[in-house]
Amino acid sequence: MKEELPSEITVLREISSALVRERNVRVLLDDVLGILEKSMGMCRGTFTLLQGNELSIEASRGLNAEEKSHGRYRLGEGITGRVAQTGRAEVVPDVHADARFLNRTGARGGSGPIAFVCVPLVHLGQVIGTLSVDRPNPPESKADDFGQDVALLQTIANITAEAAAVCLKEREEREALVAENRRLRDMLAANPGDLIGNCREMRAVYEQIRQVAPSDATVLVRGASGTGKELVARAVQRLSSRKDKPFVTLNCAALPESLIESELFGHERGAFTGADRRRIGRAEEADGGTLFLDEIGDLSVPLQVKLLRFLQERTFSRVGSNAEIRSNVRFIAATSRDLERMMAEGKFREDLYYRLSVFPIAMPALAARTGDVLLLAEHFMERMSVKYGKKVTKISPPAVNMLLAWKWPGNVRELENCIERAVLTAADDTIHGYNLPPQVQAEEFAETPYDAGEAKDRQTLAARLAAYERHVLEDAIRRHNGNHSAAGRELGVSPRMMNYRLGKLGIGE
């Protein structure tokens, strides 16, 4: 006993030196296991960490990547799970002879007796994982013969628990970031580069797009003019199996009633005055792909009947012909009209309405998604700068306040036109309030070319500070692609305080 004590003291001294020297906690845990293997002959040392109700291997010796991946245990499962559940050390004198030892990693081969010693990692009174080792074992050894090993491992577990807790926290943060990145990637997957927005309402739209795109279900996109209904239709098409097939559009409000049927279904030569040759309609042109009918509420009732037949049978006839033509299309429609009121007035067929409303998607008005106004404004600013060969890169705080205060009755289309005008009239690299259209310029946020960035005297200090705080927060969020946690870390703001400030200013709601 007295001969072994110096070696244990040496081991603890080496581990203490590693704790002081090594800042990478994963390397540190691996170094500790290396010291145990080299100095004490303890092989296959393993640190497991507890997340939820499952333990998984964080650091190990003598296990390859595949073996490590199999080393997962629920609380109470096997020796490792039992130690984590009870908080008490366990010794298995021979892993080949004890049914409780699961050998889930498959690393214990051979026929010689191998002892397994496992102790809990305890941090702030809570079990956060385990430390375990294998010991070559003389035959007929008992659990009591390993008291010295248990005491040494418990001491090492105590002095490395803080490092293990740091490792566990890093793992949880890493997995949270991975989950958030996955969520953002999923959102972008449903947003193939045209739809822009990160508010709650737009995230719901993205989710609906993801749900319906893989199917051939008919989609009805509803929303006010200028909200981006065609962009939704294109997003559905790009995420569908028909993404490489034609995407054909027809705006029912842009053509007189006499021409819509011909545009949709085509016509034969001589079908009417001026029809000097056969014309293929949009329905036939879209065969195999997607047909998008915008402002479908503007169709006349007689044409609604023909459209209903096409929806039901996927067959139609050209104007001036009785021959039936089959077209395999995915049908998407959009409207800004109140179809329910039109049905009550007899202006829209009820059976067509229900055929169209298999999967409705409602696009929110821009006034209901103010958190996306600056995101959209900067997107349009960048696009218009490229279009007109200018280098406009910023929006002044007063202009930001004006954009946020305006109700945008024309929705995203109005905002796009507004930013286009502002880029054209900008004399430097910044959009100022006086570059915006007159109706958008709010007097309380006004600035002049000689006084850019300075608010009116009657604006209170609190209002100025709130406007500046909003600008700083939104700028940080944009730099981190909508990641509130990363923006908060850049600004040195805790997650709780970040959420409080965002909620107070109504950002991202």
Kindly report, residue by residue over 468-500, the tens digit of the pLDDT.
787 788 777 777 767 788 788 888 888 888 888
Q: Provide the 8-state DSSP code for 353.
A: H
| pLDDT, mean of residues 441-457 | 51
Positive or negative CA dihedral for 428, 430, 431, 433?
A: negative
H or E stretch including 267? Answer: strand 266-267
Provide the phi-psi class of 219: left if phi over 0, else alpha when psi is between -120 and 50, else beta.
Answer: beta
CB 136 within 8 Å of CB 162: no
Strand 290-294, strand 279-280: pairing = unpaired
Provide the phi-psi class of 144: left if phi over 0, else alpha when psi is between -120 and 50, else beta.
Answer: alpha
Q: Is the pLDDT of residue 275 over 90?
A: no
Q: Is the pLDDT of residue 110 over 70?
A: no
pLDDT tens track for 301-350: 999 999 999 999 999 888 888 888 999 999 999 999 999 999 999 999 99
Q: Which residue has the higher pLDDT, 201 or 461?
A: 201
CB 245 within 8 Å of CB 289: yes
CA distances from 342 to 161, 345, 360 (A): 69, 5, 17
pLDDT tens track for 120-137: 999 989 999 999 999 887
Chain length of the chain? 509
Q: Is the pLDDT of residue 455 over 50?
A: no
| Interatomic CA distance for residues 494 and 480, integer angstroms | 16
> Can you tell me whether residue 481 is helix, strand or coil?
coil
Q: Is 157 exposed, middle or buried, given 0-12, 13-18 or 19+ CB atoms closer than 10 A?
A: buried
Where does the pLDDT of residue 370 fall: very low under 50, low under 70, confident under 90, or very high at 90 and above? confident
Where does the pLDDT of residue 198 fall: very low under 50, low under 70, confident under 90, or very high at 90 and above? confident
Which range, of 72-81, 288-297, 390-399, 467-476, averages the lowest pLDDT? 467-476
Q: Given this model, what pLDDT does residue 454 score? A: 43
CA dihedral 300, 305, 306, 310 (to 10 degrees): 120
Crossing angle of helices 411-425 and 373-388, in 10° steps, is 50
Look at the pTM and tell me if it is higher than 0.75. Answer: no
Where does the pLDDT of residue 193 fall: very low under 50, low under 70, confident under 90, or very high at 90 and above? low
Residues in CB range of 138: below 8 A, 6 or more apart: 113
User: Taking Cα atoms as reference points, which of 61, 60, 57 lies closest to residue 48?
Assistant: 57
Q: Given this model, what pLDDT does residue 333 score? A: 96
Residue 328: both structure tokens together:
């395999």
Write down the mean pLDDT value for the chain. Answer: 85
Place of tokens 């244990």: 8
| Interatomic CA distance for residues 273 and 29, integer angstroms | 86
